[in-house]
Each structure stands twice: as structure tokens, then as C-alpha cells.
């Protein structure tokens, strides 16, 4: 699988490390809602189809990226810098 780093260009998957699900929303730090925190920490969705993920180009520019990847076909639809995506939504998605 090739991931096209916005800075370095297309690179083999072995240069990257998976950092987690980029679609999860962290509860407010002041929240005392035990169910919300339990769901955030322990429950992980297993989507079929396009999914946003955090990756880091560890063997290259070390940039953190958001990769939109189809979990059924492993086709990569979009790769953006995580910092730019976070600025666009005003915080961690």
C-alpha cells in the first residue's frame, strides 16, 4: 500500500505508523459523565468503508497525517496534514 505524503510524495506503508482513529471525539475534560469516558477509552468502532485515521510518517518527514482509507479495499482517498485539518475544525476531531 502506498501513502502519498503531502510533503514527501508517495511512500510505502512501511515508512508510516498508525496512530489511531481520527473520527473519535474526546469528552470535555471537565465532564463527569462516566459512560462518555468509558465509551471514549474502551469502545472502538469497526467501520466498513471510508474511515479517517491518524498516521505519522515516521521514516520520513515525521509529519502527522489524516488518511481517509477504505477499510474494505485499502484504497486511500485523501491524505492531509493533521495540523491543517485540526485548525479547520478548531481542535482535535
We report the CATH number of the domain holding residue 89 as 3.30.2270.10
The answer to whether position 64 is within a domain reads yes
Residue 42 to residue 32: CA distance in whole angstroms: 16
Q: Can you give the pLDDT of all 93 residues of the chain as single tens digits?
A: 899 999 999 999 999 999 999 988 889 999 999 999 999 999 988 889 999 999 999 999 999 999 999 999 999 999 999 987 666 655 554
Residue 34 lies in a domain: no
Rg over CA atoms, the chain = 15
Has residue 16 been placed in a domain? yes
Which structural domain, as residue segments, surrounds residue 84?
1-24+49-93
- Please give the tally of structural domains in the chain: 1
Tell whether 15 is covered by a domain: yes
Amino acid at each position: 500500500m502506498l501513502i502519498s505524503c503531502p510533503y514527501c510524495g508517495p511512500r510505502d506503508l512501511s515508512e508510516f505508523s498508525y496512530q489511531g482513529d481520527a473520527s473519535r471525539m474526546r469528552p470535555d475534560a471537565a465532564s463527569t459523565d462516566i459512560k462518555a469516558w468509558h465509551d471514549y477509552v474502551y469502545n472502538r468502532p469497526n467501520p466498513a468503508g471510508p474511515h479517517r485515521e491518524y498516521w505519522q510518517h515516521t521514516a520520513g518527514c515525521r509529519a502527522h497525517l489524516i488518511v481517509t482509507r477504505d477499510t474494505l479495499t485499502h484504497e486511500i482517498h485523501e491524505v492531509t496534514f493533521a495540523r491543517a485539518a485540526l485548525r479547520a475544525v478548531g481542535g482535535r476531531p
